[in-house]
Structure 1
Amino acid sequence: DVCSSDLAGPIAPTFDVVRVESNGSIVVAGNAAPNSKVEILNGATVIGSTVAGPDGAFVIVLEDPLKPGDYTIALRSTVGAVVTASAQTAVVSVPANAAGQVLAMVEEPGKPAELLTVPASEPKPAPATGDQAAAPAAEAPAAPATATPAVAAAKPAPAAPAAPAAAAAEPKIVVEAVEIDGNKIFVAGLADPGRKVRAYANDILLGDAQTSSDGHFLVEATRDIPVGSYTIHVDGLDADGVKVVARAAVPFEREPGEAVAAVAPAETKPAEAKA
């Protein structure tokens, strides 16, 4: 129905996280129309793609790192014959050498650009730690606070559905997406701002991350995850970094292949005094 589609309008894909490493590897997380095909474009060239989950969340890891230089990347989603381009663009600068700086900036017409930088020469932490993560929750109306990682965080387009405000007193944690790319695994989700989270695949520790001021976390780990069925669970830790105050878990099927992605919302499970 032309009338109803005009009223609703297509859902434009949006950036939530643009994570850039000094070697040119990039992880992009965001939201698009549920179950749509999502592509990253550098100009007219498609450099990465995936399928959004039933809630619209997606994570894309570029298979080939970008060579040194400046890039303007955009998102495009496809549902049937309807193709929708993002209003946002991400400007990425990959340094020619380790002494340069990684730059990532997300721009949207009529809104201030978000620019975050980090010296590329800083030593990387052990692969199991994922505390370099930052992005706002899809429903966060405020601009993200400054952060040290080379991560560009964007405010979502108005088309993104607003979630009801959660009770501040009750700890929350949600796993939004799980992606495997070669021997790397990424777990993205939402938690209380500033909360430390710890992710596992069954009993395999994947790493920790600090939730950004806008409630988004990304745990990145280098692990060989054999083919099989797993439960990816993420614990939200108390201020002491030891006590578990909230837990979220999603099933994840590790299928054969170098790139496997799954997006599944999970409900918060308050940790009942389990030590």
Structure 2
Amino acid sequence: MLRIAAAVLILLGLVVVGWQLRRPQAPAPTPTTAAAPAPAAPTGPAAPSFDVVRVDQQGNTVIAGRAAPGAAITILDNGKPLGTVTADHQGAFVFLPASPLAVGSHDITLSAVLPNGPTLTSTQSAEVSVPANGGQVLTVLSGPNGSQVLSGQGPAAGALALGAVDYDTKGHAIFAGTAPAGATVSLHLGNTLLGTAKADESGHWHIAAPTPAAPGMLVVTGETASGSILPPVTQPFAPEALAQAFANGQVIIVPGDNLWLIARHIYGNGLMYTLIYTANSSQIHDPNLIFPGQTFVLPKPKG
């Protein structure tokens, strides 16, 4: 971050005594009026966002988030309205669907109609997979800051860990993970610092950096808000693995992988993880449980 320091000029008045009568009086300087600062660009109300997406093994769901105060929030499931709730005077909302989510995949999104009429759409989406066998539900929150595994896989909030690596359209890798709330987290690839971040109050952090060109070992270090040093966490990183995997027709699972993220990288849509699951059902007994070292076939989608 560049910090621009402004220099402050202090004008010192000179008091001159003993002027000679024949010396002409210097004209007083014409006063100048400082230009008024440009008004700050108005910022509009924020688009609706998720705070909590919690789904149990029976599909019972709690969705909470934030929007403009008084906005009417519509929750959509695979593009169809699941229900509507109004944000309170602080912009918070909580929604409990009348019925449990059905077995299968759900793409949960938000839109908000503001009190003065405009409609805003969330930049986030929550992908939920409810398994048929009563197994653990996989919930992944996706947005501008990458993908965050909320349940089913990934580390628990409060533990120093790297949970997911995602990619944007500008050549950046977005590393997301967990740590104690308020902890300062640093991420290195070998001896190269990729970035630092502070864990938010929910115990999550993210760091965006140019996608490294070469594989290596990621090292996550952290220091709590009280100054305690957290044990470092390491994880292998191979940026070209998924790019080459589709051409090779298979992928080798490494720590941090899950079917949803692989499908998003390979097919452009996390919900297409079912293609990988179906093609490798003899190896995958639970789509939420895959293990480093497993090799999965990557089928090409029809059409």
TM-score interval, normalised by the smaller of the two chains: 0.3 to 0.5
Bigger strand share: 1
Bigger helix share: 2
TM-score normalised over the length of structure 2:
0.37
Rg bigger for which structure?
A: 2
TM-score normalised over the length of structure 1:
0.41
Name the structure, 1 or 2, with higher relative contact order (CA <8 Å, separation 6+).
Answer: 1
